[in-house]
Chain A
Amino acid sequence: MRIERLHLKAFGPFTNRDLDLSNGNGKLQLIHGLNEAGKSSLLRAITNAFFGFEPQCGDDFLHNYKDFCIGAELKLDGGGEYAFERLKRTKNSLRTPSGDLLQESELQGILGVQRAVFLELFGLNHETLRAGGRRIVDGEGDLARSLFESGGLASLVSIGSALNDDARALFVKSGQRELNTLFKGIQELRAAVKSTVLHSEDYLAKEKRAREIDTSLEQARVRQSQLTMEHTRLLRIKGNKSELAEYDRYEVDLAALGPVPDLATEAPQERVAESTTLHQAEERSAELRQEVEIAEAEVATIPPDPPLLEFPAQIASLDEPTVNYRKQRDDRPALARRADAALSSAEKLWNAAFPGQDISFLETITKRAEEQTSVRQLLNQLHRIEVAEESHSKAVRDGDEELDRRNLELQALPPAPDTRILDGIIAALPNPQELARQMQKLSRETDALKESVSLQSRKLLAGWNQDADLLTMDVPSAETISRYEGEFDGIATSLRDYREKHRASSEKQSDASYRIEQENLSGNVPTQEELLAEREVRDRGWRLIRDSAIDGKFSLADAEIQYQAGTPIADAFEGHMLVADTIADDMRANSDRVVRIAELRLQLQKAHGELLQVNGEIEKLQAAESRLAAEWGQLWIALGGTPHNPREMREWCLQREVVIQRINELKAKNREREDVATVRDSARGQLSLALADLGEPPANENEPFEAVVERAKTFVAERKSDREQRKECDRRIRELELKLPKLREEVGKDEQVRISWQEEWNSAAEKLGVTFASTGQVQQFLDKLPEIVGHWSDYRNLHGRVQGIEEETKQYTSKVRELVARIADDLLSAEPDAAAGELKRRYKVAESNASCRVELERRIREARANLTLQEQKKERAAERLNVMCKAAGCSSPEELPAIEAAFAIKRELTTKLEQIARILCRSNSMTFEEVRVEADEVSSDFIQVHLNEVASEENTVAAEIESLVEERTTIRNALELAQDATAHATNVDGLQAKIAAAGLLAERYIRLRLAGAVLERTLLRYQQKYESPLLERASELFSRLTDHRFARLTTQVGEDDRKVLAAVRGGSGKLVEVDGLSDGTADQLFLALRLAAIEEHLTRTETLPCIFDDIVVYFDDGRSKTVLQVLADMAKHSQILLFTHHDHIVKLAEEQIPGQFELYWLETSKIASSAAAAT
């Protein structure tokens, strides 16, 4: 395939440039251009035309990406033609020259190679030639493989390495890779599953033993119950025997008292009460008699009632008038002064407003309301007439003045130029302030973004490698981070759970230990001996009480000293009785305590087991956590430090995205700023031209855009203002010339109106009776009139009130004098208000004396009635005491206390006997007779022996029960634990999960290893297939390119049994490794290898144009000629384009291959071809 024509419509430096290569068929096509002429761009153009534009190719300095377009016309090996155009699109970028879509696969089918292969083989410049050659040298020394690489399969070796790396990351024979870890985990879990299996024989054996224990335990408990009952019975009998002996002793004491009459229980209290009543009644009678005597004496001292008590209403009625009388007497002088002042004010105002006229005319004029209204209306009308006259006169004066001013102004205005063009430009302008604001805003934003990006980048990489490139660095995906986060969280949760279990088990263990300790501490079990000793103390107490209180052998105080000095004997006795009962209860409780201790020990053992298991799990989890942390760290190797946890790193990634977004924003802002600047500069140029056309100075370079715009606007505004002013003057002059004659007519009309008004006024003033010299005086009089009327009215009211007070004072004085004359003539000479006060005081004294007398008489009556009652009480009490003496069989009340004391002792003894019998019946749940019979069954001498035997057997049975309970609890717990399948299920689940994961991973490993093996074999095949012909052809070319200074190429075995490429010197046959060659010779070697590979490739596929860009730059003229000859030979079979910027290469071509090459001159403005002279 050949390129016939290239149409560089828009790409890099080219705009609508064509390159016609159709005339160079069979010849080397030499394209000559100076530096920057576009040779490299042409190579990229051809590559992009074939394989599509790369996303950011950097050739957009003249044309936008969206405008890129390269056309090509190809001639195929089979004779066909293919024309296309390539656009820069994400899809559908290939089309025919007429615009129809073309399938990408069609062009790729013609080319037969990928972009990488094309660039590697068919689009070489000096740089890629050397780089490829270096890869040959560095590529493991295996020529075939290196050639294989340079033959377009460059990535296969690295793919093989990657496959092996990926496989090794999963599994190695000895190591800690993912699969190795899983296999180990499977082994561990297999063992764990085995350990948690519940074997049927174990379970059934335990279950059987549990049943046997239940049976034994039931039997032992029956026996224990029997023994407890017998023990209780013997203890009961032993206790009952002492109680019964005490009972017998009380019976003897009762018999010794002899006959004592039975008294009512409350007899002593009744006796005391009646005696007290009798005594109190006698004392109260004496007190009452004395009270009567004192009251009667007081009554005698009170005087008889005076006559004024018969006039209570009249005296009381004096209260209010007295108050009024005083108030009016006080107010009257002030009221009289105010009346005089009001009269004076009214007269003063009247005389001032209406001089010469008596104030009595006031009454007349206030009645002429209509006349007042008429006069007021005429005054208002006069005001309006005067305003109209003034207004019309002023309008005429102003009109004349303005007319003169406007005419002068019109003459002074200058002529106005046409500013419509400038105005149009200004109207179309972008707002300069807005532009400036945008520029400022964009500058601020770009500065802020720059700073923000820099700051955020530094912040983001703080603590890590600061040189890392945020845009291109390799960071794990969000899914990977989430996966690790899940794994970390899972481990953390499990750790938390196990630590909680650890705490719970520790608490259980501590609790069980503590409770065992407590049980042991409280285990001071009292002995039988202690019980008997305490009961002996108790019995001794009772004997002392009996001997002192009943038999009277000694006093209670002596008994207390003998028993427990310092404590009342009754309390001490009761205390010992309680202690004895408590000891008996403690002994019964002991067997329960033993059972509890056994259960607690089992709990302790179980908790210990749980703790061990939990510790193991925690250790495993911590190890897993460490492993995970190490893997996690590997993922972030690009950062050059240890990453934070996944949650924080996800946040870090988000921040990185933000920074990248900011960088893109910054680029966009810069572009935006440039656009705004362009718009501003264009507008400035237009304005400057328009201003110059209007005779204004154009914008100079230092004048800011805003100032130019402002100047233009001011200019336009000023001219517009001139036009508006002229127009306004014309309009106003026309208006004034029409208006002034009309105003002068109005002035004439005003004079007629004033004459009519004067006639009406004269008539109205006469009717009102006020004929003043001027309308102003009339107005003043009417304005003052309401105030004068007000003062006159006040005077009239106050004068009336003074007269009223004088009348009321007269009436009150008369009333007081009349009452005094009737009931207290000694007060006739007193002032009325003083006489009234004295009357009232005398009435209050008389009223108080009368009331006191009534109260004393009531008290005398009550005392006399109470005296009678006390006498009756005395009689009833004496009668009751006589009845009591009769009942006790004595003659006087004084004998009664002795009889009552004897009866009390008898009653106490009887109570004690009943109490003992009741206690025995209740504590034994038997009748008293049954208790006595049971006590008689066992001899006191042998009872302790029986008790000891029973207690011993009880201890044996309790120990047996404890042992059985312990064993049963252990087995039950084991069975219960066994039924709990959680641990087993967890292990099974874990095992299955690991098996599944390992299976998947193993399959993945198999795929990777198999792929690696397939690749190895492919490379081997290729080596076997192509090595020899390639090396042979490269040898030929190399020898030729070096003018046979080197005879051939060969391979030799180097270190690590790898093949190493070497050149054989002509003549000496000495081997020179590639690193030993000069730069130029090495370039020739690389070129030979490439040319051989190209030739080999072209034998198998469609021919492709080969493009060499300045590859002979380091060759001397001789070797350059040889290269030109080799290329010219190759050009006979396929299209060869050689770019150069050296004139001497052209000259060398003219010398070496005349007629075998076609020369083209490359300029960005044109591409011309001219046939080289073939000499």
Chain B
Amino acid sequence: MYEGAPIEEIRGATRRTFETIIQLALSERVDFMLIAGDLYDGELQDYRTALFLTQQMAILNQANIPVFIVLGNHDAEARVTKRLSLPPNVHVFPSSKPKTHELRDLGVAIHGQSFARAAVTENLAAEYPARREGLFNIGLLHTCLSGTSGTKGYANYAPTSPDMLRTRGYDYWALGHVHERMVISTSPWIVYPGNPQGRHVRETGDKGCELVRVDGSQVQVEQYRFAHVLWEVLKVDATGAQTADEVYERVATKLQAIVARESRLVCVRIEIAGSTAAHFALAGEPDLKVKIQNVLLQVGGDLWLERVVLRTSDQATASAAEGLESLAEIRATIDGIVASDVERASLTEIFADLDSKIPAELRGEDGINLGDPAYIAGFIEEAAEELSLRVIKAGAQQ
């Protein structure tokens, strides 16, 4: 979260969305519910989430709606999972081996196996039981599916492939692990529903769950979208804009489209790009975020500005800057650093003090890694930008 964020709404969004799913199950009078893992975050130690889940499952229990769950890598990590005491309508598949639940009244067989630990590298699907004839067979699996670009960037747990899934002869594969919705196949149906509520700006767009209707051999899959809070990255093209105000107007126009479309809270990151004469005015604006926030206020609606990312380049002043010998010298220095491993490695030394103080929460795979020359080199262009701006400003002042 950031300063000024609508904390209550964002914090409660995931639970509110889960409640909506439960209400959908009740209103649609579904026969059962499937959850393909990662109900919790692995680091989660707080039992209150478990209590919330129990309450929601109890609602389904009262409506006689069974729930089938396989535990994913995060659930397996989470300490609360082991202590969970769920109502009798909830069936958690074992992690030792696959199990099949037959719902004879409905003509359905559900196959599944939970993760025993976070890093499951075996192909669990390969061991799933054979199809039960005469029934509608469903595979419930937490997996990183190969052969699709959509799973790139996800930990390769319980890896399997669409072909492997097809060999099981099931009618429907309900998959978990990937946060984006993906329909891998419709024959048989292989579906990642994605997570129902985006957690941050990297999980954009509307989200929800899948409502599957089966009539004989006819399968109809419908996506319900009802994320409580929407995350969006708004790209604003500043090309040709002469002034910062003109850019703000473009931002306002884009935001107005969102406000006209959405009545719920939209958390928006604004990326301004393009070649513009207003580049230095924007880059040199110390309160750019405040300026953009003012635009949000003027536009109205339920919007929260997550961040402003400026990727503009200069149009006219670039030519003036070219004339500055100092900038040429700076560019030459940067080129030298980029080209030399030794130079880049030496940069880590200047951050030793900071490195020793960085809290663990800021480190990690996507976090701050000051011991890595490549990480620091990633900032070199931004540093060059900062320098150029200051040099040009100093020139203008003289």
Candidate in B45, B367, B379, B387 with the most chain A CB atoms within 10 angstroms: B387
Given contacts A199-B47, A479-B290, A1006-B379, contact A1011 B320 (CB under 8 A): no
Closest approach, in angstroms, between the C-beta of B321 and any C-beta of chain A?
10
Question: Quick check: B1 and A201 within 8 Å, CB to CB?
Answer: no
| Bound Cα distance from A993 to B347, whole angstroms | 29
A-B contact count (CB 8 A): 184
User: Which among A113-121, A220-228, A267-275, A691-699 touches the partner chain?
Assistant: A113-121
Q: Nearest chain-B residue to A999 (Cβ)?
A: B362
| Bound Cα distance from A529 to B306, whole angstroms | 78
Q: Is residue B353 contacting chain A, with contact meaning CB distance below 8 A?
A: yes
Given contacts A999-B362, A1002-B368, contact A981 B391 (CB under 8 A): no
Q: Is residue B63 contacting chain A, with contact meaning CB distance below 8 A?
A: no
Given contacts A483-B290, A996-B2, contact A116 B395 (CB under 8 A): yes
Question: Quick check: A1018 and B359 within 8 Å, CB to CB?
Answer: no
Cβ contacts A1050-1077/B at 8 Å (1 or 0 each) = 0000000000000000000000000000
Q: Is residue A109 contacting chain B, with contact meaning CB distance below 8 A?
A: yes
Contact of B376 among A116, A483, A992, A1006 (CB under 8 A): A1006
Q: Is residue A159 contacting chain B, with contact meaning CB distance below 8 A?
A: yes
Q: Nearest chain-A residue to B333 (Cβ)?
A: A1018
Question: Quick check: A477 and B357 within 8 Å, CB to CB?
Answer: no
Given contacts A989-B11, A1010-B376, A1014-B333, contact A163 B320 (CB under 8 A): no
Contact of B379 among A117, A186, A190, A1010 (CB under 8 A): A1010
Question: Quick check: A114 and B358 within 8 Å, CB to CB?
Answer: no
Q: Is residue A943 contacting chain B, with contact meaning CB distance below 8 A?
A: no
Q: Is residue A203 contacting chain B, with contact meaning CB distance below 8 A?
A: yes
Question: Quick check: B323 and A112 within 8 Å, CB to CB?
Answer: yes
Contact of A116 among B320, B330, B398 (CB under 8 A): B398
Question: Quick check: A1007 and B386 within 8 Å, CB to CB?
Answer: yes
Q: Is residue B164 contacting chain A, with contact meaning CB distance below 8 A?
A: no
Contacts of A117 in B (CB 8 A): 325
Contacts of A105 in B (CB 8 A): 316, 319-320
User: Which A153-203 residues sit within 8 Å CB-CB of chain B?
Assistant: 153-156, 158-159, 162-163, 171-173, 179-180, 183, 186-187, 190, 197-203
| Bound Cα distance from A111 to B379, whole angstroms | 33
Which size class do B's interface residues fall under?
35 or more
Contact of B47 among A155, A198, A999, A1002 (CB under 8 A): A198
Contacts of B326 in A (CB 8 A): 152-153, 156, 1018
Question: Quick check: A1015 and B1 within 8 Å, CB to CB?
Answer: no
Closest approach, in angstroms, between the C-beta of B271 and any C-beta of chain A?
16
Question: Quick check: B330 and A1018 within 8 Å, CB to CB?
Answer: yes
| Bound Cα distance from A114 to B325, whole angstroms | 10
| Bound Cα distance from A997 to B51, whole angstroms | 31
Q: Nearest chain-A residue to B317 (Cβ)?
A: A105
Question: Quick check: B332 and A1021 within 8 Å, CB to CB?
Answer: yes
User: Which B65-121 residues sit within 8 Å CB-CB of chain A?
Assistant: 79-80, 82-85
| Bound Cα distance from A1011 to B383, whole angstroms | 5
| Bound Cα distance from A1007 to B354, whole angstroms | 13
User: Which A474-494 residues sit within 8 Å CB-CB of chain B?
Assistant: 477, 479-480, 482-483
Contact residues of A: prevailing secondary structure: helix
Q: Is residue B154 contacting chain A, with contact meaning CB distance below 8 A?
A: no
Residue total for A at the interface (Cβ-Cβ under 8 A): 74
Q: Nearest chain-B residue to A162 (Cβ)?
A: B390
Q: Is residue B48 contacting chain A, with contact meaning CB distance below 8 A?
A: yes
Question: Quick check: A114 and B395 within 8 Å, CB to CB?
Answer: yes
| Bound Cα distance from A111 to B359, whole angstroms | 52
Question: Quick check: A477 and B287 within 8 Å, CB to CB?
Answer: yes
Given contacts A108-B319, A197-B46, A200-B79, contact A152 B325 (CB under 8 A): yes
Contacts of B1 in A (CB 8 A): 989, 992-993, 996
Contact residues of B: prevailing secondary structure: helix
Contacts of A183 in B (CB 8 A): 357-359
Contacts of A525 in B (CB 8 A): none
Q: Is residue B58 contacting chain A, with contact meaning CB distance below 8 A?
A: no
Q: Is residue A629 contacting chain B, with contact meaning CB distance below 8 A?
A: no
Contact of A1005 among B7, B47, B82, B354 (CB under 8 A): B354
Q: Is residue A386 contacting chain B, with contact meaning CB distance below 8 A?
A: no
Contacts of B24 in A (CB 8 A): none
Closest approach, in angstroms, between the C-beta of B279 and any C-beta of chain A?
16
Q: Nearest chain-A residue to B359 (Cβ)?
A: A186
Question: Quick check: B398 and A1017 within 8 Å, CB to CB?
Answer: no
Closest approach, in angstroms, between the C-beta of A160 and any C-beta of chain B?
9
Given contacts A993-B3, A1018-B330, contact A1013 B350 (CB under 8 A): yes
Q: Nearest chain-B residue to A112 (Cβ)?
A: B323
Contact of A995 among B80, B336, B361, B382 (CB under 8 A): B361
Contacts of B361 in A (CB 8 A): 186, 190, 991, 995
Closest approach, in angstroms, between the C-beta of B45 and any C-beta of chain A?
5
Given contacts A155-B394, A1017-B337, contact A201 B83 (CB under 8 A): yes
Contacts of B347 in A (CB 8 A): 1010, 1013
Contacts of A998 in B (CB 8 A): 359, 362
| Bound Cα distance from A204 to B51, whole angstroms | 11
Cβ contacts B363-386/A at 8 Å (1 or 0 each) = 000011010000010011011101
Contacts of B83 in A (CB 8 A): 200-201, 204
Contact of B48 among A198, A1003, A1005 (CB under 8 A): A198
Q: Is residue A824 contacting chain B, with contact meaning CB distance below 8 A?
A: no
Q: Is residue A237 contacting chain B, with contact meaning CB distance below 8 A?
A: no
| Bound Cα distance from A1006 to B376, whole angstroms | 8
Given contacts A162-B390, A1011-B386, contact A203 B368 (CB under 8 A): no
User: Which B318-362 residues sit within 8 Å CB-CB of chain A?
Assistant: 319-320, 323-326, 329-330, 332-334, 336-337, 347, 350-351, 353-354, 356-359, 361-362
Q: Is residue A979 contacting chain B, with contact meaning CB distance below 8 A?
A: yes
Question: Quick check: A1015 and B330 within 8 Å, CB to CB?
Answer: yes
Q: Nearest chain-A residue to B360 (Cβ)?
A: A190
Q: Is residue B5 contacting chain A, with contact meaning CB distance below 8 A?
A: yes
Q: Is residue B50 contacting chain A, with contact meaning CB distance below 8 A?
A: yes
| Bound Cα distance from A163 to B384, whole angstroms | 12
Contact of B2 among A113, A158, A993 (CB under 8 A): A993
Candidate in A156, A978, A1013 with the most chain B CB atoms within 10 angstroms: A1013
Given contacts A114-B324, A989-B7, contact A1002 B334 (CB under 8 A): no
Contacts of B325 in A (CB 8 A): 117, 151-153
Closest approach, in angstroms, between the C-beta of B347 and any C-beta of chain A?
6
| Bound Cα distance from A117 to B320, whole angstroms | 13
Contacts of A984 in B (CB 8 A): 46, 48
Contacts of B386 in A (CB 8 A): 163, 1007-1008, 1011
Closest approach, in angstroms, between the C-beta of B234 and any C-beta of chain A?
19
Q: Nearest chain-B residue to A1003 (Cβ)?
A: B379
Q: Nearest chain-A residue to B294 (Cβ)?
A: A479
Closest approach, in angstroms, between the C-beta of A1000 and any C-beta of chain B?
8
| Bound Cα distance from A117 to B324, whole angstroms | 9
| Bound Cα distance from A112 to B321, whole angstroms | 10
Closest approach, in angstroms, between the C-beta of B176 and any C-beta of chain A?
23
Q: Is residue A985 contacting chain B, with contact meaning CB distance below 8 A?
A: yes
Question: Quick check: A1010 and B368 within 8 Å, CB to CB?
Answer: no
Closest approach, in angstroms, between the C-beta of B244 and any C-beta of chain A?
14
Contacts of B379 in A (CB 8 A): 1003, 1006-1007, 1010
For this complex, 24 residue pairs linking A to B, each with C-beta atoms less than 8 Å apart, are A114-B323, A151-B325, A152-B326, A155-B395, A155-B398, A156-B391, A159-B394, A171-B353, A197-B45, A199-B45, A200-B82, A200-B83, A203-B51, A204-B85, A981-B48, A985-B11, A988-B11, A991-B361, A992-B1, A993-B2, A999-B362, A1006-B351, A1014-B334, A1014-B337
Further pairs besides A171-B357, A989-B1: 10, Cβ < 8 Å: A113-B323, A116-B398, A152-B326, A155-B394, A159-B387, A172-B353, A179-B354, A1007-B383, A1014-B383, A1014-B387
Give chain B's interface residues, CB within 8 Å of chain A: 1-3, 5, 7, 11, 45-48, 50-51, 79-80, 82-85, 286-287, 290-291, 316, 319-320, 323-326, 329-330, 332-334, 336-337, 347, 350-351, 353-354, 356-359, 361-362, 367-368, 370, 376, 379-380, 382-384, 386-387, 390-391, 394-395, 398
Instruction: Sort A-B residue pairs by CB-CB distance and give the 3 closest, nearest first.
Output: A200-B83, A116-B398, A155-B394
